[in-house]
Amino acid sequence: MKITLKDGSVKEYAQAMSVLEIAEDLSAGLARVATAGEVDGETVDLRTVLDKDCALNILTFDSEAGAGAFRHTTSHIMAQAVKRLYPGTKLAIGPSIADGFYYDLDCETPLTSEDLEKIEAEMKKIVKEDLAITRFTKPRDEAIAYFKEKDEPYKVELIEDLPEDAEISFYQQGEFVDLCAGPHLMSTKPVKAFKLTSLAGAYWRGSEKNKMLTRIYGTSFTKKADLDAYLTRLEEAKKRDHRKLGKQLGLFMLRDEGPGFPFFLPKGMELKNRLLDYWREIHKKAGYVEISTPIMLSRHLWETSGHWDHYKDNMYTTVIDETDFAIKPMNCPGGILVYQSEPRSYRDLPLRMGELGLVHRHEKSGQLHGLMRVRCFTQDDAHIFMTPEQIRPEIKGVAKLIDEVYQLFGFKYHVELSTRPEDSMGSDEDWEMATDALRGALDDLGLDYVVNEGDGAFYGPKIDFHLEDSIGRTWQCGTIQLDFQLPLRFELEYTGADGEKHRPIMIHRVAFGSIERFIGILIEHFAGAFPTWLAPEQIRVLPISDKYLDYAEKVNETLKENGLSSTVDSRAEKIGYKIRESRLAKVPYMLVVGAKEEEEGLVSVRSRFLGDEGQKSLAQFMEEIKEEIRTKKIREVEIEENN
């Protein structure tokens, strides 16, 4: 058989061989670090035997699927430890997830954080035992009988939902047996660096109608140094939690009266409006026109767009004058109505329409999370209507605009190109043209990208931008989607140069994604210490005592007249205390004023960046800060003050 490796080379074998045996043949070092295999695009066990020609990629922890196999094995080790310590526990599910794993358990006695240490200690014993992990299968009926005998009702329910002729796979390590599709490591020995991170409640199968189970989260790595670095990042993330900082800095609040519907406070609105002003500035420069469409539209529109059939459970609906209406979950149908409002010619295209539209989507209460997952948010949508020839240059224009946005905030990012899924709509020719246009635009821009085969939207391929924040977490924000279906569904037209009617092609795109979510990301990225241009409070004037309050107010008024956001700390507190409070509030600049400053018309400048920047005239300070704001400069913190 011929085995085609990732680098394109071909190895020939006269007999069937397991993935691990082939890894050993290639390199003993590779075999030691291998965690799984990928055969013709499907992730498999190292124990999988190959007996025919195929493409093979040996996976290690450095790959997403390889890390998944490693962490999935860790979840089984954890479940085995729990069963040893608490034999009456019933097992639900225990998958690997991004950065770790979890296992849902039905425990007779509720677990506490103190129990996690006991479970970790037992896990270390299991790892030290170096238990071989084996796979076996049973017919469906035998599998059900097996788990009924073991008194594992959740496993029985999972199997009962599988087809009658399904062959059920099991994984065993020592006395522990679990229902599982795999893949897993060959033994428990490699899993030496792990940590159980938290406990949470989780409804069985995500339904509030079912029993609440205990979910244990954890993570694992091949090296202790990598685990320590990850745990350090977790601690840093806690300090940067946007919910905590949002409350501390007075930016937004969440109330039980409106779960998932955030309230922006005055400082939060300053921040949000600065972001929106920047959005309008760059879009106007890029040739977009801004529109606003109604927040609620009739059922007929959502039926035409397909949302009523495919998205209704996530939509808020009502009845007006005996007609069904829905609050919009997306802006695109409204934008299409604007396009239809007058005849269009090829001379009008490309037509770039931007909208800062408030959309509502019904998210389950358990999925809500600060500003990151809400039920209403402002989407910085834009819809571009164009001819086929304009696809490539328009994609490049959007990609450049998104790049400009992310560069401004100091975000690194990577790009993914998602191609045609199985349940797609449209002709082969349309899909090939669209995918080639996206690929060509990325190549023209020199952007590195990963191809996600079959992960496009049902109406067209897409490009996703995944940004990386200051502590290494990634967030999917920007996206560019090509759509052939909505122009067809709504019978959109333009008159071509030949005088005939043609169907335009549509781009859906966002740069920020959700404004609210992007603000949450920015809060955590900057740890609340926003660049001066974005900071809701840019300057705080600090009089040394009440005697200089009038001068402080005069300075403050001058700053405001010059378009700067400033306040006066008029409290009868010592100046050291006021400075510390200003630093805790993440104010970029503090202007200390006393006798000398009032006498000479100066201000003593202290910044979040350099500390004491000396005395300056107010005019000089304003000139410098205005230039910093105009250029949207990000000043780095060069010192840490103790006072």
Residues carrying an active site annotation: 332, 361, 379, 381, 383, 462, 508
Burial class (CB in 10 A: 0-12, 13-18, 19+), 134: middle
398 touches 462 (CB < 8 A): no
Rg (CA), the chain: 29
State both tokens at 176.
């522990």
CB contact burial 521-553 (16+ within 10 A = b; e otherwise): bbbbbbbbbbbbbbbbbbbbbbbbeeebbebbe
Q: Which residues contact 220 (CB under 8 A, 6 or more apart)?
A: 70, 71, 74, 100, 101, 191, 193, 194, 195, 227
First to last CA, the chain: 72
b or e along 160-187 (b: 16 or more beta carbons within 10 Å of the residue's beta carbon)?
Answer: eeeeeeeebbbbbbeebbbbbebbbbbb
Q: How far apart are CA 98 and CA 106, in angstroms?
A: 23
With contact defined as beta carbons under 8 Å apart, do 458 and 424 qualify?
yes
Which residue, among 380, 302, 291, has the nearest Cα to 338 in the 3D structure?
291
Beta strand 539-543 with 505-514 is unpaired
> What is the distance between the alpha carbons of residues 2 and 48, in angstroms, rounded to a whole number?
16
CB atoms within 10 A of CB 93: 21
- The DSSP annotation for 269-317 comes to HHHHHHHHHHHHHHHHHTT-EE----SEEEHHHHHHHTHHHHSGGGS-E
Is residue 133 within 8 A of residue 185, CB to CB? The reply is: yes
| 580 membership: H or E segment, kind and range | helix 575-584
Helices assigned H by DSSP within 188-241: 224-239
| Nearest-angstrom CA–CA distance, 315 and 299 | 11
Q: How far apart are CA 279 and CA 270, in angstroms?
A: 14
544 close to 599: Cβ distance less than 8 angstroms: no
CB 382 within 8 A of CB 288: yes
Compute, in degrees rounded to 10, the torsion defined by CA atoms 173, 177, 182, 185: -10
Asked whether 180 and 171 are in contact (CB, 8 A), the reply is yes
Other beta carbons less than 10 A from residue 415's beta carbon: 19
At residue 66, the 3 state secondary structure works out as: helix
3-state helix, strand, coil in the chain (%, to 5): 40, 30, 30
CA distance 411 to 404: 10
176-179: strand order across its sheet: 133-139, 167-173, 176-179
CA angle 589, 590, 595 (to 5 degrees): 145
Residue 339's closest CA among 330, 329, 326, 348? 348
